[in-house]
């Protein structure tokens, strides 16, 4: 991993990059594969070795794109995938994991997440995750779209304390987690994985961010990423199918926002002053 790639530590003690690569919308159109695969490979070359995918994305198509991108490079990749809540029963998790492994053309997933809370008792899903760990099919597990009360319930379960991350919608325009979820996770050393960190492209066109960006000879999207990655224990996972975006996102690791920048960003995107329910995309 190039030295400029900052890392954060999972509760397991393993270091992971604070910048990863998302894959939602990849694998939907075969003609775009010629862009998607090289973009992910470039990310690996640049040291963004954490790749986030899910069985849901393109109904498994995104996992197949990832398989092509990491072919021959599995050991340098930290692979994250997700199981749908409708597959979260013990048998369902086992089946879903096998299918993901097949599509990913690998024998293990590094971090396997429950995509969002569902109706299957959480204790059953956690048991299934633990069984997958014992079988060597996954190395770690975590959750996604869990609010603070749901995290509290989770860590109260047998083995629930083995959760390694909570992946949530978090960016300058979605600061709800700053009120209590992010501090809750930080206190317990559980990294927050920030999805849609450029608000699906919207923050790349934001004038308030552009005003900060000019001071750093950067783009608005890079400022949005630099801000997310400056938060203690946050991993940002932008999706980029253009190589230019992959390069810019990696370069955002070198941006050091000043206290003046943070004040200006707080003014443009005020932190929450009361609890808001966790938003989802």
Which chain residues interact with ligand NAP by CB under 6 A? 22-24, 52, 115, 144-145, 167, 195-201, 204, 219, 221, 237-242, 245, 248-249, 281
The nearer residue to ligand NAP, 54 or 128, going by C-beta atoms, is 54
- HSE at residue 219, side-chain half, CA atoms within 13 A, is 18
Given the residues 57, 112, 170, 195, select the one marked as catalytic: 57
Q: How many Å apart are CA 25 and CA 158, to the nearest integer?
A: 35
For ligand NAP, the closer of residues 59 and 263 by Cβ is 59
Pairing label, strands 192-195, 166-169: parallel
Of residues 134 and 143, the one with the C-beta less far from ligand NAP: 143
Q: Closer to ligand NAP by CB, 110 or 263: give it.
A: 110
| CB burial string 14-45: b at 16+ within 10 A, e below | eebbbbbbbbbbbbeeeeebeebbbbbbbbbe
Q: Give residues with Cβ within 8 angstroms of 30, minimum separation 6.
A: none
Residue 112 falls in the annotated catalytic set: no
Nearest approach, Cβ of residue 203 and ligand NAP (Å): 7
Residue found under tokens 């270091």: 15
Residue nearest to ligand NAP (CB): 22
Q: Is 195 helix (H, G, I), strand (E, B) or coil?
A: strand
Q: Write out the catalytic residue numbers.
A: 57
């Amino acid at each position: 991993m190039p030295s400029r790639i900052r890392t954060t530590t999972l509760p397991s003690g393993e270091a992971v990059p604070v910048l990863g690569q998302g894959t939602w919308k990849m694998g939907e159109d075969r003609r775009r594969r010629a862009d998607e695969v090289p973009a992910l490979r470039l990310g690996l070359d640049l040291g963004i070795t954490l790749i986030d995918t899910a069985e849901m994305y393109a109904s498994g198509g995104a996992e197949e794109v990832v398989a092509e991108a990491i072919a021959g490079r599995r050991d340098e990749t930290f692979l994250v995938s997700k199981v749908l809540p409708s597959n979260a029963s013990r048998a369902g998790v086992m089946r879903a994991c096998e299918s993901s492994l097949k599509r990913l053309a690998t024998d293990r997933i590094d971090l396997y997440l429950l995509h969002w809370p569902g109706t299957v008792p959480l204790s059953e899903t956690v048991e299934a995750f633990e069984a997958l760990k014992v079988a060597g099919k996954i190395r770690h597990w975590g959750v996604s779209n869990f609010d603070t009360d749901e995290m509290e319930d989770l860590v109260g379960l047998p083995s629930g304390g083995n959760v390694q991350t909570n992946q949530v919608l978090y960016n300058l325009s979605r600061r709800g987690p700053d009120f209590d979820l992010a501090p809750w996770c930080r206190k317990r050393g559980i990294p927050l994985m920030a999805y849609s960190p450029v608000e699906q492209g919207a923050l790349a066109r934001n004038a308030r961010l552009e005003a900060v960006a000019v001071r750093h000879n950067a783009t608005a999207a890079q400022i949005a990423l630099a801000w997310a990655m400056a938060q203690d224990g946050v991993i940002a996972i932008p999706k980029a199918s253009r190589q230019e975006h992959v390069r810019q996102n990696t370069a955002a690791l070198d941006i050091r926002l000043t206290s003046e920048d943070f004040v200006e960003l707080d003014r443009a995107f005020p932190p929450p002053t009361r609890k808001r329910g966790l938003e989802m995309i």
